[in-house]
Amino acid sequence: MKKALVCGAGGFIGSHLVKRLKKEGYFVRGVDLKYPEFSKSEADEFIKGDLRNLSIVDVCVDGVDEVYQLAADMGGADYIFTGEHDSDVMHNSAMINLNIVDSMKRHGVKKVFYSSSACMYPEDHQLEVDVPALREDMAYPGNPDSEYGWEKLFSERLYLTYSKNHDFDVRIARFHNIFGPEGTYQGGREKAPAALCRKVIKSDGEIKVYGDGQQTRSFLYIDECIEGIRRLMESDCVEPLNLGSDEVISINDFAQMIIDISKKEVVIKNIDVPQLGVRGRNSDNTLIKEKLGWSPVQPLKVGIEKTYKWIKNQLV
C-alpha cells in the first residue's frame, strides 16, 4: 500500500484529493491548520499542524512515498489583490515549501506534486479580454500581476532545482480557477464562481460584479482537477503543465449563466474596484493533451449547476 501525504488536506482541493487517493487504495496522511469545513476528512491520519513549523513537517513527511503539496496562504480577489496580505502570502507559502523540500531531502522522500497557479504567468500576456490562451512556454520572462503569482513562480523553481540537484521526482500543475462543491463561498477568500453563486442565491433583484464584466476567465470543475493531478503523477512528464479548462467566458456572461440556472429575475450591476487582476486569462491545453493524452472536457455549465445547487443547500 502506497502512503501519501496531502498538505492542505483541510482545504477545498486537498480534501477532494484525499477522497480520490483513498478510493485508489492509498494510505493517506493529511495535514492542515484546520479540518475540512464541509465534510469529515477521509484521511487515515489527520495532523492539525502548521507547515511553517519544520518539526511538524518532519512528522508529516516521515514514512510516506508521495507528497501532494497544496498548502498555501491564498484566497479570492478580495484577499489577493488588495495588497494588505502580500507579506503573509509571500512569507507563509514560501516557508511551507522550503520546509517541505528540506524535510523530503532528509527523509529520503523523492516524489512530490506541487500545485502552482495560472497567476504565475506574466501580466503582459493578459492585458486584453481576447488574449491568446496561456501556453506553458509563456511563463518567462516572469512578470506576474500579484505577489501570490511571484511566490508560485519562485516555488516552481524551488522544486525544479531539487529535482536537478537532489533527484526529486517532481510534478507541477498550474491550476486555472478550480471550483465546485465544498469550496469556500463566503468570508473573503472565496473565488469568483462561489461568490457569484452566493450573490445570486441571496439576491433580491440585483448583484454587484467587479469591473465592467468584460474580463475573461476559464474555470475548471474540481473532479477534472483531481483527475488531472492523478494522471500527471502517474505520467513521466516532468515539466509544469496547465491544468484548466479552455472554455473561456466573460465574467458578466458567467454571472448571467448562474442567473439563468437560478431562474430568478436578477440584474447585474458592474462596479469599479481598485484591483481586478488581469484582463483576460485562458488555458492552452495543447501540452497536457500531448503529455497525458487527456484534457478537461466538461462544459462549464454542468459544473456550475452542481456548485450552485450545493451552495444553495448550504444557505437555506
- Can the peptide bond before residue 132 be classed as cis, meaning omega within 30 degrees of 0? no
Q: Which of 213, 204, 194, 229 is nearest to 17 (CA)?
A: 229
In contact, 17 and 70? CB cutoff 8 Å: yes
Annotated catalytic sites, by residue? 148
In contact, 183 and 126? CB cutoff 8 Å: no
What's the CA gap between 102 and 157, in Å, rounded?
15
Sign for the CA dihedral angle at 303, 134, 20, 156 comes to: negative
Q: Which of 51, 49, 30, 50 is nearest to 40 (CA)?
A: 30
